[in-house]
Amino acid sequence: MLLNLEGLTQIINSAGYTAYVFNIHEIDFAAPVPLLQLSLVDIEGSGSQVTFSVAISGLISFVLQEYSWLGTCDVSNVHPLLLEYQEPHSSLYIKGNTEHIKELSFDLLQIHLATYGKWRPFPSELFAQLQLGHALLAEGPEQLIQQYAIKVGEYGIHTSIIPSYIPNPSNLKVFTLDDNYFIGSSFEFKVRYESEQFLS
Q: Can you list the domains of the chain with their CATH numbers?
A: 6-79+171-195 (no CATH), 88-165 (3.30.1390)
What angle do the packed helices 101-116 and 142-154 form, to 10 degrees?
Answer: 160
Given its phi and psi angles, is residue 110 left (phi above 0), alpha (psi -120 to 50 degrees) or beta? alpha
pLDDT in tens, the chain (200 residues): 333 345 777 777 777 888 888 888 889 988 889 999 988 888 887 778 888 889 999 999 999 887 776 767 788 999 999 999 999 999 999 999 999 999 999 999 999 999 999 999 999 899 999 999 899 999 999 999 999 999 999 999 999 999 999 998 889 999 998 889 999 999 999 887 666 543 33
What is the four-CA torsion angle of 142, 179, 67, 72, rounded to 10 degrees? Answer: -120
User: Which pLDDT value is given to residue 2?
Assistant: 35
- In this structure, the number of other CB atoms found within 10 A of the CB of residue 164 comes to 14
User: Which pLDDT value is given to residue 193?
Assistant: 64
CA 91/CA 25 separation, integer angstroms: 41
